[in-house]
Chains A and B, each alone.
Chain A
Amino acid sequence: MNEAGEPRGDEMVSDTALGTECDLAHGEDESLDALRLALEDLRSEIRAQLPESRRASSGANDVDWLGLFEELRQRLATLGMKERFAAVDEFGMDVQALARSRSILDFLLDRYWRVEVVGVSQLPRPGPCLMVANRSGLLPYDGLMLSHIVERFGPYAERPRFMVADWFITLPFAQPYLARLGGVRACRENADRLLRKGVSVVAFPEGVKGAAKTFRERYQLKRFGRGGVVRAAIENGVPLVPVGIVGAEEAHPVLFKSHLPARMLGLPFIPVTPTFPLLGPLGLLPLPTKWIVSIGEPICLEPPGDDAHEELLISRLTEDLRLRIQSLVDEGLDRRPSVWS
């Protein structure tokens, strides 16, 4: 692969030496620097041979006026652009936006939901892991909180990303904020890419089914997709970490789902909570329930040897994972005296 890259430099130099390039390319900088150094050596040699009286004044003449003018022109043209910090990572997470919203996230974590975190020390280190949690609520507050918890208390250098189901990630007005805060569309390609780069991922295999749970069905985990999480963990060689989140499911108690107006708006359903749509956008505010986040023991998976039973094995592992999370959730529910405290 490197051989392919090498001749490129030569081509650039020869092109620019002939003066056919309109733009100054960065590639020629090296050869120009070498030239400049050689010129500087020559100048100092000449200066050393000059008589004492002229030595001091001779330095003033070598100002490159044209270069200076060009430099000034370029500076003027890019004024206010190059200096400005504008950078997001390749999945659109914005470090500055995160830093700005840190105090809000901390407030939500410590004061609003009074999140009790159990078992952070269980997180496998080093390296990334695939956290799997129960999904609940309308907006992905649970994923946001879990990745914030792991960044604050966990052992990883990179903030974990949380996966968001398809229609949330393209929801107007929510989409820009979700991406800035570390939300990523839930699909195998994204999970693989993040795990390969060493970034942990929070997945909610219940998907939209989980978000659509009504209040009566709370804390009963739905079917886990088609085994995508287990497959992703095996293929990337990362441990699975089951996480049970208690409290998020009462933050948006969905009484029932309305389908007909939703179809007109192109949404899968419209949740009716005690406050939404009654109070308008204000009703989207989550309730201040008490949260318990319990992080379970990591599961290290070996790649299955023979592929005759692979499908069966993966579906069994997926079901096993679901039961573990269910028991974590049940334990959390037992620890909590009431929804509010």
Chain B
Amino acid sequence: MGEPACIAVTGLDTFLGQRLVERLLARPGGPRVLGIDLQRPLRFAGRIDFQRVDLTNPTADGQLARILLDQGVEVFVHLAFRRSPTPDLEYDHELETIGSLHVLNACAAAKLRRLVVSSSTMLYGARPDNPNFLCETHRLAGHPDAHCVQNRIEVENLLARWTPRHPDTEVTVLRRCWVMGPTYTDHVVRYFERPVVPTMMGYDPLLQFVHEEDMLDVFEQAARASHPGVFNVVGRGVLPLSMLLALAGKRRLPLPAPLLYRLSNYPSQGQTGDPPAGFYDYLRYLWVADGEQTWAEFGEPIYSTKEAWISLVAARRLERYR
């Protein structure tokens, strides 16, 4: 099986969607890309085919299946997930969980060759009883307060049930940890960008990042060739939070745990703040994922955790002097 002739991509407006499509189009003689989204992306005008599908629409699965069959899509890359959690819980659930359900139904009807789904290592949950390295087979415990994590766990559960029933379709699930890099932004990056970073008093967890280019590399390979399975997309190495902040010359503001939870809850409930409820548990307990399997399958990452962090901080410093 060579390169697929046509790749469908959802979520063209996300960082991952934009950069992945750029990469797929960059090679001459590459596959035809079919974009599926709510809005026609102007940056790809004339370079990709586009179909407007609202994944939250109750009839989206039938519509999508017809498109996939008509266009002869072989590979489906499902990236229509929120980058940062929003206050609109209902829409998040409709888009992430129900939208994925529609995608799965359509893929089953269209008998696709391959399905690539983006996921997160946050789904393992930050818990005091985690081992130092979480394997791909570890239970997805999630976090009861973080609705974005719960939605995605539902997606993974749907997928786990769907995969054995459709043996003709290869399913690749790419769980990525926190992404750092010169151009990537989400609520985690915004949290780390502050000059004074609130941390939890008495805790100094080990953190792990992946560089945006390394992550894109893995997604591109998964779209182009066959790599079935679940993979933790992470960088090599771990660093404690205090050491990361010291490297970047940022101040830490240690706050007692109950105060920090309350402080983080009010703005997110008032729909003004960024880090949602439950975010700070990820700065309290271990949730480092094991990437050995991914590195064996997709090759060594170029950037380590420390280098990914340095590339973010360096890019922000340069922006200041531009």
In the complex the two chains form, what is the Cα distance from A39 to B178 in whole Å?
Answer: 41
In the complex the two chains form, what is the Cα distance from A80 to B247 in whole Å?
Answer: 8
| A173 interfacial by beta-carbon distance below 8 Å | yes
* CB neighbours of B298 from chain A (8 A): 4-5, 8
Instruction: Give chain B nearest CB distance to A88 CB in angstroms.
Output: 6
A26 with B302, Cβ < 8 A, contacts A189-B131, A189-B132 known: yes
- B214's closest neighbor in chain A, by CB? A25
**Would you mind naming 16 contact pairs between A and B with Cβ atoms under 8 Å apart?**
A4-B227, A4-B297, A4-B298, A11-B220, A12-B217, A15-B26, A25-B302, A26-B302, A77-B314, A81-B310, A84-B246, A86-B239, A87-B239, A90-B132, A179-B204, A193-B133
Q: Which A residues form the contact surface with B (CB < 8 A)?
A: 1, 4-5, 7-8, 11-12, 14-15, 18, 20-23, 25-27, 73-74, 76-78, 80-82, 84, 86-88, 90-92, 94, 166-167, 169-170, 172-173, 175-176, 179-180, 184-185, 187-190, 193
Q: Say whether A15 contacts B239, CB under 8 Å.
A: no
| B49 interfacial by beta-carbon distance below 8 Å | no
Q: Say whether B315 contacts A77, CB under 8 Å.
A: yes
Interface centre among A23, A176, A190 (most CB of B within 10 A): A23
Q: How many A-B residue pairs have CB under 8 A?
A: 127
Among all A-B residue pairs, the 6 with the closest Cβ atoms = A172-B202, A176-B204, A189-B131, A77-B314, A5-B299, A173-B202
Chain B: number of interface residues, binned into ranges: 35 or more
Q: Say whether B201 contacts A172, CB under 8 Å.
A: yes
Instruction: Give chain B nearest CB distance to A227 CB in angstroms.
Output: 19
Instruction: Give chain B nearest CB distance to A86 CB in angstroms.
Output: 5
A175 with B318, Cβ < 8 A, contacts A4-B298, A22-B182, A81-B310 known: no
Q: Say whether A8 contacts B132, CB under 8 Å.
A: no
Q: Say whether B206 contacts A22, CB under 8 Å.
A: no
Q: A189 touches which one: B133, B204, B306 (CB < 8 A)?
A: B133
Instruction: Give chain A nearest CB distance to B56 CB in angstroms.
Output: 32
* CB neighbours of B182 from chain A (8 A): 22-23
Instruction: Give chain A nearest CB distance to B121 CB in angstroms.
Output: 15
A78 with B183, Cβ < 8 A, contacts A8-B299, A86-B243, A86-B247 known: no
